[in-house]
Structure 1
Amino acid sequence: MTLNTHPSWIDEFPARIAELDRAHLRRRRRVVVPESGARLQVDGQSMLAFCSNDYLGLASHPALVQAACAGAHEFGVGAGASPLVSGHSAANEALEQALARFAELPRALYFYAGYATNIGIVPALVAEGDALFSDALNHACLIDGARLSRAHIHRYAHADLGALDAALSQSPARRKLVISDAVFSMDGDIADIPALLALCERHDALLLLDDAHGFGVLGPEGRGSLAKFGLTGARASRRVLYMATLGKAAGVAGAFVAGDDALVEWLLQKTRSYIFATAAPALLASALRASLRLIETEQWRRDHLSRLIARLRDGLQPILRGTPWRLGDSVTAIQALVIGPNDEALAVMEGLRERGLWVPAIRPPTVPEGTARLRIALSAAHSEDDVDRLIQGLAGLAPKSQLERPSAALEPTLA
């Protein structure tokens, strides 16, 4: 046997990791332990956190904990099999019915994870020879689902509905699928869903919406972005598939897709990430039913969250004036403070950490080059004092505005 004497490609990984370090792109996991309210113990340090997608503060709610414990006592801990074998418990069935009622859509299908939902349902809807139209700022799971589908992908500029209309008009494909976040995860802006649906009606296309960051927060009783625009119930369109995750505002885990009965049945039959994966444990379904009841009845959580969003935005305006920092145009719980270079975003993150504030920096490839940012996530678990602490922390770290800097005539010259 002849041994390979050439250097192995496996030996390249240390250098490749070092390159991530040089570009300030290496990610590091933190070990966290929940404390009270919006506080987390991060690597052993107690921190006021502005990074959780637990928008309504339900993740540690006693009603959810009690429901999960009761579900574990009744059904055990694991599901044991795929939903199409023996994993679809009575609790999961009840949850699907509750989700359909809550979202005001004909039928719902419950998945164990949001990422698995989108990478599975997109290839179940379109394939080679079909056409897919994707917003440039869609979440990675929609992008990866599009790639897996092998459909011809048309990527249109963020929220550019004119470009989408033109691309749909020019496509000769019989089956067309438009995919879009409802609330964009890194900027917090909301898609123009009625306009997207109108284009799909005009061009005989199907619309898949990912409402991971709108479900539970937007619309009447938190029913989501479709409900916000009055496109559920009697006004629901068979052209819309509505997907939402259950590990954010709902405070638990998993995801669901809802829509026309025939479309949901097709997804049940053809989605590989549903068919070939063990079902979500019934205890989670039990907790989620408790969560839906709280989302529907405790409007004060959304009202409080809205006040915190306004307080943060108002408090940051004078700090940012004249600086290169930019606050995104968002009315949702996601407030993107764009810093720019990776190293500067990391420096601000570290400065906040030293002040007991945990706001991780988001860098490429999650966001475009040159737009590294602090993704500030607000929650009903925060208080007004918490938001004021963050504003004060950022005020101490912000670069001096152009108005505060000495004029060029007064600046010393270099010999």
Structure 2
Amino acid sequence: MTTLHARLNDELTRLRSAGLHITPRVLDAPQRARTRVDGVDVVNLASNNYLGFADHPYLKERAEAYLRTWGAGAGAVRTIAGTLKIHEDFEAQLAQFKHTGSALVLQSGFTTNQGVLGSLLQEGDLVISDELNHASIIDGLRLAKATKKIFKHKDMADLRRVLQENPTDGLKLVVTDGVFSMDGDIAPLDQIVAIAREFGAVTYVDDAHGSGVLGAQGRGTVHHFGFEHADDVIQVGTLSKAWGVVGGYAAGDANLRDVLINKARPFLFSTGHPPAVVGALSAALDLVQQDESFMTRLWENTRYFKAELQRLGFDTFGSETPITPVIFGEASAAFEASRRLLQEGVFAVGLGFPTVPRDLARIRNIVTAEHTREDLDHALGAYERVGRALGVVGG
């Protein structure tokens, strides 16, 4: 008979033996471009805090005001007694920002994919997913009863082939990330939507890493490609990356919100967001529209950092966005580089299999609007020294 202690011990032993055991680093200071990790002052290249909003005073002031006015919590699931006026006000603000007919906020980006895919897809439907889509999409599709197919990453000929080989009278859904989280490349949404429309399919975009990064005022990948008013394009994403807080959203057709309120299980069975969260999110959307310098600095920093890494001889894997991978090949090399960078005052996390392919272990860097040129030069100097010491770049 297997005991709980034995099961837990066996699982931890297996993870350690496979080199997959994780012990999270602990931040001793707020989430900023410069922070403190395990007692060490560092330049932070590990967070998703693209616009520097996580500790921004404007968001904190609005969060405090909502907390004092509306209380600490929503007190119930949204469909019973947990919908406060501020929830609906923010969703209207988000739909207006995204240029969509409706928007609904859920508890997280991960659960948003579960809720939306589970609500839309039925037996007899067809869903086609990019092979490098996020784990939340994969898990969401596992819960759906539709026929599931995969197309090769950003391969439009393969997408067309799958659609041709799988005719159905049901709903057809093509699912893609807007920005792919490990490589930093952008989905060719103009081509995807065109092919989807040719076969009468709807396009579903998880814009976790595109919202707040691409499009005018950070409206996202869908806006970047000019599809924000399209009723046959669904946007989902997170409110925890560029927007600096927590939550997920779905935006699209005017009826999408109502259907999700009635069918999305994460929405139906989870308490509404605390007022302070809603206040901070509302402030984030206001701020990015009032001040264009956040987006300007984000992209200036991104272009500079990428160019300098490439000049030093590092492989950034063709990234098109602030997500900037530095390829080390073997996981052991990436993890050792991460350890040495931390000693140099740079917080940048190594990633290996199964998060990325075995021979493409890397450090994933994310440049933010808050980084100064001094921050980036400090990080680049550390990268140069560590890269030379490990034989990754010449010198």
TM-score, normalisation: structure 1: 0.90
Work out which of the two has the higher radius of gyration on C-alpha atoms and give 1 or 2: 1
8 Å CA contact 1:51, 1:360 repeated in 2: yes
Secondary structure of the residue aligned to 2:192 is helix
Q: Cα offset for 1:387? A: 1.1
What amino acid is aligned across from residue 56 of structure 1 in structure 2?
Answer: L
Q: Cα offset for 1:172? A: 2.7
Q: Cα offset for 1:401? A: 6.3
Q: Cα offset for 1:400? A: 3.5
Return closer, same or farther for 1:60/1:242 CA change in 2, 3 Å cut-off.
same
Q: Determine whether 1:196 maps to 2:192.
A: yes
Question: 341, 362, 373: which one pairs with 1:384?
Answer: 373
8 Å CA contact 1:59, 1:252 repeated in 2: yes
Secondary structure of the residue aligned to 1:34 is coil
CA offset digits 1:170-215 (Å, max 9, x no partner):
1132221111100111111111111111122111112110111111
What amino acid is aligned across from residue 173 of structure 2 in structure 1?
Answer: L
Partner Cα distance (1:98, 1:360) in 2: 35
What is the CA RMSD across the aligned residues, in angstroms?
1.8
Partner Cα distance (1:336, 1:139) in 2: 16
Q: Cα offset for 1:282? A: 2.1
Q: Determine whether 1:306 maps to 2:299.
A: yes
8 Å CA contact 1:359, 1:374 repeated in 2: yes
Partner Cα distance (2:394, 2:366) in 1: 30
What amino acid is aligned across from residue 75 of structure 1 in structure 2?
Answer: W
What amino acid is aligned across from residue 395 of structure 1 in structure 2?
Answer: E
Secondary structure of the residue aligned to 1:183 is coil
What amino acid is aligned across from residue 141 of structure 1 in structure 2?
Answer: S
Match of 1:123 in 2: 118
Match of 1:407 in 2: none
Question: 158, 179, 183: which one pairs with 1:183?
Answer: 179
1:53-132 matches, within 5 Å, as 53-132=48-127
What amino acid is aligned across from residue 185 of structure 1 in structure 2?
Answer: S
Question: 382, 389, 400: which one pairs with 2:391?
Answer: 400
Partner Cα distance (1:10, 1:144) in 2: 28
Return closer, same or farther for 1:402/1:253 CA change in 2, 3 Å cut-off.
closer
Q: Cα offset for 1:35? A: 4.5
Secondary structure of the residue aligned to 1:273 is helix
Question: 215, 221, 224: which one pairs with 2:217?
Answer: 221
Partner Cα distance (1:283, 1:186) in 2: 31
Match of 1:412 in 2: none
Q: How many residues of Structure 1 are paired with residues of Structure 2 in the alignment? A: 392
Match of 1:410 in 2: none
1:200-215 matches, within 5 Å, as 200-215=196-211
Return closer, same or farther for 1:118/1:385 CA change in 2, 3 Å cut-off.
same
Q: Determine whether 1:145 maps to 2:134.
A: no
Match of 2:309 in 1: 316
8 Å CA contact 2:112, 2:237 repeated in 1: no
Partner Cα distance (1:219, 1:82) in 2: 33
8 Å CA contact 1:24, 1:342 repeated in 2: no
Match of 2:233 in 1: 240
Partner Cα distance (2:328, 2:299) in 1: 24
Q: Determine whether 1:342 maps to 2:347.
A: no
CA offset digits 1:95-142 (Å, max 9, x no partner):
000001111111111112111111111111113332111111111101
Q: Determine whether 1:365 maps to 2:354.
A: yes
Return closer, same or farther for 1:401/1:108 CA change in 2, 3 Å cut-off.
closer
Query: Displaced runs of 4+ in structure 1, greater than 6 A?
Result: 401-404
TM-score, normalisation: structure 2: 0.95
8 Å CA contact 1:112, 1:279 repeated in 2: yes
Q: Cα offset for 1:252? A: 1.3
Secondary structure of the residue aligned to 1:32 is coil
8 Å CA contact 1:24, 1:343 repeated in 2: no
Partner Cα distance (1:68, 1:181) in 2: 30
8 Å CA contact 1:183, 1:191 repeated in 2: yes
CA offset digits 1:242-299 (Å, max 9, x no partner):
1121111111111211111123321221111111111111221111111111111211
Return closer, same or farther for 1:165/1:294 CA change in 2, 3 Å cut-off.
same
Partner Cα distance (1:70, 1:9) in 2: 46
Secondary structure of the residue aligned to 2:359 is coil
What amino acid is aligned across from residue 212 of structure 2 in structure 1?
Answer: G
What amino acid is aligned across from residue 361 of structure 1 in structure 2?
Answer: G
Q: Determine whether 1:51 maps to 2:42.
A: no
* Structure 2 segments unaligned to the other structure (5+ residues): none
Q: Once the two structures are aligned, what percentage of the paired residues are identical?
A: 34
1:271-282 matches, within 5 Å, as 271-282=264-275
Match of 2:257 in 1: 264
Question: 310, 326, 329: which one pairs with 2:318?
Answer: 329
Partner Cα distance (1:339, 1:19) in 2: 25
What amino acid is aligned across from residue 14 of structure 2 in structure 1?
Answer: E
* Structure 1 segments unaligned to the other structure (5+ residues): 1-5, 405-415
Q: Cα offset for 1:19? A: 3.4
Partner Cα distance (1:116, 1:166) in 2: 30
Return closer, same or farther for 1:402/1:98 CA change in 2, 3 Å cut-off.
closer
Partner Cα distance (1:89, 1:401) in 2: 54
CA offset digits 1:340-373 (Å, max 9, x no partner):
2111111000010111111011222222222221
Return closer, same or farther for 1:89/1:402 CA change in 2, 3 Å cut-off.
closer
Return closer, same or farther for 1:125/1:39 CA change in 2, 3 Å cut-off.
same
Q: Determine whether 1:30 maps to 2:8.
A: no
Q: Cα offset for 1:41? A: 1.8
